[in-house]
Amino acid sequence: MTATNEAAESAEGRTAALRDTGAALWKLSAGIVTGALAGLLVCGVGGRLVMYLLRFTSPDSSMGKTTDAKSTIGEWSLQTFGLLETGIAMGAQVGALYILVRPWLAEGNRHWKTAVFGATAGGAMFIRPDGVDYYAVKPLWLTVPLFILLPALFGYLLADWTERLLASGKFGEAPAWQLWVPVVLVAPAVWHITREPALVLLLVSTLLATFLRGRAGAVVRVWRAPVTRWTGSRLLFVLGLANIYVIVTAVHEIAGKS
């Protein structure tokens, strides 16, 4: 009976792996769509609103300076729309990455874990002592939390929207060419913001998801195996701690120079 049960479980696992492989393009498309949308709203629109708020809390001497995002403090210009494009490009890439590490995150609280990791990763990326923003805009006690809160909100929305979209099953049976539409739409922004390497990686990932449908069951089983998920979740935890160290060090250096 035990051998029969083990054989049944093994067969069920192979079937699930094949199903997951077959749905790889659908999942990748879902991650790109939700990532691009969350990036547009949070990083693009939200980032612009945060910078507009900091305009009123910063000294007059900061007006007219160029930020790290190549925008002019205190002015609205076409550069403002560059933030929207950046949000779409970065959001789409992070959305694809979320699909990759999604099995490492326990079901039920993926949105909260992604929010926490987004806060640490985004904070480590945006809070840089070699930049201009944190010396030009004030006060530091407001700028740092805001630029940690934005990527945290992005991470929460990305995971929440992606899980809802996947659970709904909408467009799950759509032909491959339709699932390529999100990739094609975000490709110009990805190329313009992060150039060829990121675009090539995105296209290669989409091609693999398209042509390996149902042919990489062994890879999927290994990626979703308990030991892989345990290792991956611990790796994300360690990376989060490292990001926190980077943030604390950067804030200390910025405060010292200010």
Average pLDDT, the chain: 81
In this prediction, residue 11 has a pLDDT band, given cuts at 50, 70 and 90, of very low
Closest CA to 188 of 86, 69, 67: 86
Evaluate whether 238 touches 117 at the Cβ level (below 8 Å). Answer: no
pTM of the full structure: 0.82
Evaluate whether 77 touches 71 at the Cβ level (below 8 Å). Answer: yes
* Long-range contacts of 167-171, Cβ-Cβ distance < 8 Å, separation of 24 or more: 171/26, 171/29
What residue segments make up the domains of the chain, in order of their start?
Answer: 2-257
Mean per-residue pLDDT for 188-214?
83
Model confidence pLDDT, tens digit, residues 133-179: 666 677 888 888 999 999 999 999 999 999 999 888 776 677 777 88
Backbone angles phi, psi at 169, to 5 degrees: 75, 5
Q: What sign has the CA pseudo-torsion 136, 139, 140, 145? A: negative
Structure tokens that stand for 158 in this block: 């990305």
Residue entry with tokens 């892989």: 228
In this prediction, residue 19 has a pLDDT band, given cuts at 50, 70 and 90, of very low
Torsion angle, alpha carbons of 147, 150, 156, 157, to 10: -160
